[in-house]
Amino acid sequence: MNIALWIIAAILALAFIAAGGMKLAKSRSDLAGSGMEWVDGFSEGQIKAVGAVELAGGLGVVLPALVDIAPVLVPIAAAGLALTMVGAAFFHIRRNDPPASLAPSIVLGILAVVLAVGRFGPEAF
């Protein structure tokens, strides 16, 4: 179980560090041009805030355990990412986006919940 949770943490870290870093590094118009039309519903500052949350969460699911400093932050970060994905899913539903656009939010959200439950419970650090 521990190895599976580490694999889930690595997947979440890669996905959210990449997504958050992209939102922090690119402008709103660049993001819209690369297929993220949803950015039209947000200000530049809101997009940067979402990017910062995603980047912090991506780092938070692996870094505390790797450096053995406050590893209790791992399940907290995972729970935060799960909530972020719930918000993303509701946003896509509200925009009437096609059901396929919900898949990343749902899959990443489920992985984050599994990691949070696993690290809060039977495989806590």
Residue 75 lies in a domain: yes
Give the residue with greater pLDDT, 15 vs 32: 15
Distance of CA 7 to the CA centre of its chain: 15
Between CA 33 and CA 65 the distance in angstroms is 37
Residue 125 lies in a domain: no
- Residue 48's pLDDT is 97
Residue 76 lies in a domain: yes
The domain total for the chain is 1
Between CA 16 and CA 3 the distance in angstroms is 20
Between CA 22 and CA 67 the distance in angstroms is 25
| Confidence (pTM) | 0.92
- Residue 38's pLDDT is 85
Residue 68 lies in a domain: yes
In terms of residue numbers, what domain contains 58?
2-120
Residue 56 lies in a domain: yes
Contact 85, 116 (CB under 8 A): no
Between CA 5 and CA 2 the distance in angstroms is 5
- Residue 70's pLDDT is 95
